[in-house]
Chain A
Amino acid sequence: MSQFRLKKLDLGGFVNTRILRDHTKRRTFEQFEPERQALRYTIRNTSLPQRVRAQAQLQLANMHSNTRSTQIKNRCVEGGTARSVIRAFRLGRYQFRMQALAGELPGVRKASW
């Protein structure tokens, strides 16, 4: 994990350890995505020799777990909460409610129907 971390913080806004960790995972995923996709292509391509495909499989399995997209978890930008984060605003439910009531989210208002 630490080998992927940036020496200098490049985040503005709210930062805590878990956000930092998740951000590092995102950056790592971005960095290694072409390589992963290339390996995935080699594995899926049935016209390539079996040996090459098996080796690609091994290589893909041997890559660091942080290069996987499944390790990424959407977190609240304002408070770092990992649960019930509204994707459209990148906010946790409580932050969303506070900001919506304060009128900081354009177009969002209390609904009743």
Chain B
Amino acid sequence: MPTIEVNYQDLQTLVGEHIPLDVLQEEGILYAKGEIEEIEGEVLKVDIKDTNRPDLWSAEGIARELQGRYGTKKGLPAYAVKPSGLTVKVSPKLKNIRPLTVCAVVKKLNITPDVLSQMIQLQEKISVTFGRNRKEVAIGVYDLHKIKGPIKFTSVKPDGIRFAPLEFNQKMTPAEILKKHPKGLEYGGLLKGLKEYPLFIDSAGEVLSIPPIINSNHTGKISTATGDIFIECSGFNFKFLVPALNTIVAALADRGGQIQSVRVDYPDGVRHTPDLRPKKTKVNVDYVKEVSGLKLSRGQICELLEEARYETRPKGKSIELLYSAYRQDIMHPRDVIEDVIISYGYNRIKPVFPKLVTTGGVSDIEKFSDAVTDVMIGLGFQETLSYMLTNKNALFGRMNLPEGDVVEIENIVSSNWSVFRNWLIPANMEFLAKNKHRTYPQNIFEVGDIITPDRAMETKTRDRRRIAASSSGARTGYEYMASVLDALFSSLGLEYQLVPARHPTFITGRVAEIRYNRKSVGILGEIHPKVLNSWDIENPVVSFEIDLGKIL
């Protein structure tokens, strides 16, 4: 869901048609799976919903979809590629560092401010969103005339070379860049633990970049004065690199640039990139109708796909398709069918409500929880709701308990939410602690799940539905909560026993185990003043907690 900015005038120029703003907003932008979120003068802020279609994340990409639907250009966009004669040699040293690159040359670009801002934005969105924050895709763009081929993609020791990084005049080693340059600080983690860093360097010894961190200030600075450029994408997997490069060069070709290929010499073979030959797939006409529900003829389907920039070749019940090399999202005919429906227009479809006879219902534990809740409300208790995530101090320390075994989060956002609750009374205590200046008595309860470790389970944990109820106030007491508990069990039609117990959370001699069918199902007691002090609660509290699954 990247949000991109496009200029309304620039977009219309690219499409070659005037599209009224309301038409663009209501209909046009949907063809690019977008939604206009904000309009500021000429600038449209567009949320593109498809995280798997980087080709849509630029004015050029949106324009291609609009061209198809508003009639100026349909069918497959064609991109011619001539060889540039430039070679990039990939060193075997990169094997465990950053082994792959795909490169291209684009010539005769007229880099207007709109072109420059779109190019920078697309590069940024691809490397961050599609390229997993530069891990999978790092992109470098350079002024071709400042580079002397062949280029080497190799590795260098952190202090093995000095060059001025982008926006800096002073020369630095890669190690220094990681410590001082803002991009070094931001992306340095990607090189953590490596003995050598990746390096693009030309045959004159001029540094291009240390991917995925930063370009050099000399070769890697693009302006409106630049005409011919060299582009490289580096990473670990062609599945990410190829669509990234293809998307960028296609956008530049749409701006009038000429795409030229680069010979990339790998230790085990040669690749010529970019490869913009269209890809092939096919769909069955009946399958399109079955999935969409639309009554479409083969001809209509072909027309809708041409609008979505496919080339179509109908053959019997099936349609053979060619689509652009920048698309990597088509895995199954379903993906093509969605394009048919988008072309047709989601809001043109008349929704049909299916008549399916089924019986509804909820699980027994939910029904039982509702019954328990009803009784508690009848007894004048206010229901509360709290997070299942809490911390050990709330569960143990403040409850005067030794630390026990709980389910723990690794990547915590806040230490307040670092473990899952393993009992529910602490949630009552936290609530009462936050309301000590409110009117008493405070009678509260919560019905919710707790989680306990259990090695035998598939997920090594077990969820348990519990109720915790507490009464707090100057005049509340053990007898009162014993009555509430009795009322609850009687209303549920259940027999129970109270057996004197010991529990550090409660006052000795005022705590009982609740038994049902001779099994322990909960606890009732007056909270120990030590616990009240630790929560800074100034009124007595009497609580009970019951495992509802055990009395269901």
B and A form one assembly: no
Binding site for B on A (CB under 8 A): none
Binding site for A on B (CB under 8 A): none
